[in-house]
Amino acid sequence: MTECLFCKIINKEIGSSIVFEDEDVLAINDINPQAPVHILLMPKKHIANLDDIQESDQGLLGYIQYRAREIARQVGLDGNFRLMTNCGWKAGQRVFHLHYHLMGGKDME
């Protein structure tokens, strides 16, 4: 049994608002949105953060960016969005399963 919150969400042990899912990636609405659109994209594979990636993860990481662009289009962000990830506690990371915040729908100063 994993103690990782996002692994539990991926395994459907905890509910979430799913935006997109395939065999490699899950995208969910953030439970505490900081913008009108605030979606979290995560690999289904457990990786703690960008400091934990391996050379063999490059394709997966590129795919997540492609998928973020597709979702951004689907939710109408029209080429205006922020995609960011926090790596490490001091950078603001609170859930230690790699995830990217896709945010938009307002002026992101």
* Residue 32 binds ligand AMP (CB under 6 A): yes
Q: What span, in angstroms and rounded, lies between the C-alpha atoms of 71 and 58?
A: 20
* Residue 93 binds ligand AMP (CB under 6 A): yes
Stretch that binds Zn ion, among 21-29, 54-62, 66-74, 94-102 (CB under 5 A): 94-102
Q: What span, in angstroms and rounded, lies between the C-alpha atoms of 5 and 14?
A: 8
CB proximity list for 72: less than 8 A, separation 6 or greater: 79, 81, 102, 104
Site pattern 38..67 for ligand AMP (x: CB under 6 A): --x---------------------------
